[in-house]
Amino acid sequence: MQSLDRYKETPSQTAGPYVHIGLTPNFCDIGGVYETDLGTQMINDKTKGERVTVKARVLDGTGTALRDALVEIWQADADGLYNSPSEMRGSADPNFSGWARCPADMDTGEFVFETIKPGRVPFRDGRPQAPHISFWIVARGINLGLHTRMYFGDEEKANAEDPVLQRIEHKVRVPTLIAKREGNVYTFDIHLQGEKETVFFDI
């Protein structure tokens, strides 16, 4: 019989406690190598859409905020288009990167993203998904980066019909993916473990 000639994906390893050196060197006082840290700015004056601030934390099994985690987010623009060559439905807003990277504040563990509220993008069968931001979380103690999503607390109708949220068997866990809105600020706590454990995805 012939072989399928497939390779195995390179196994993951933890990002470790010094992930900043590689991904945000200016943040950890390694100056002069890169002009700026990548992914610190998603929007500019011309970006279309409603400006919002996302404040997140990642908490361990004791409820303590991780102060050495790093988060990347990925989201659609205000019209629901991704700024990616794999986006076939149209051209995304050229003034919106869609991607950001943020290290936890070394004292408080907080992540802050200045962004816009994304538009809706279709699920595989064409049904609209609720507006959401994809999160990827790495840190010391996390062996393989964790994927989750943040949905918006003021999008109750869209959230109720979201095909991904509907897939969650235990409805009591749905609120773990929904950020609370206050003014223009959304607050999103990601619990790695325990009673309030956030839903993570195998995508």
Give the list of residues 6+ apart from residue 12 with CB closer than 8 angstroms, or none.
143, 144, 145
Place of tokens 């659609």: 76
Q: 26 vs 187, which CB is nearer to another protein? A: 26
Map residues 66-85 to x or -, x wherever contact with another protein holds by CB under 8 A.
Answer: x-x---x-x-x-----xxxx
Q: Between residue 5 and residue 44, which ones bind another protein under the rule CB under 8 A?
A: 5-23, 25, 28-30, 32-35, 38, 41, 44
Distance CA 176, CA 192 (A): 11
Binds another protein by CB under 8 A, chosen from 94, 156, 180, 184: 94
Query: Would you say the C-alpha torsion 40, 45, 50, 52 has a positive or negative sign?
Result: positive
Q: Between residue 181 and residue 200, which ones bind another protein under the rule CB under 8 A?
A: 192-194, 197-200
Q: 9 vs 182, which CB is nearer to another protein? A: 9
Q: Between residue 97 and residue 116, which ones bind another protein under the rule CB under 8 A?
A: 97-99
Binds another protein by CB under 8 A, chosen from 88, 172, 182, 183: 88
Q: Between residue 132 and residue 171, which ones bind another protein under the rule CB under 8 A?
A: 132, 134, 136, 138-147, 149, 164, 167-168
Site residue total, another protein (CB under 8 A): 87
Half-sphere exposure of 129 (CA within 13 A, CB side): 23
What's the residue count for the chain? 203
Q: Kindly provide the b/e burial profile for residues 30-50, where b requires at least 16 CB atoms within 10 angstroms of the residue's own CB.
A: eeeeeeebebeebbeeebebe
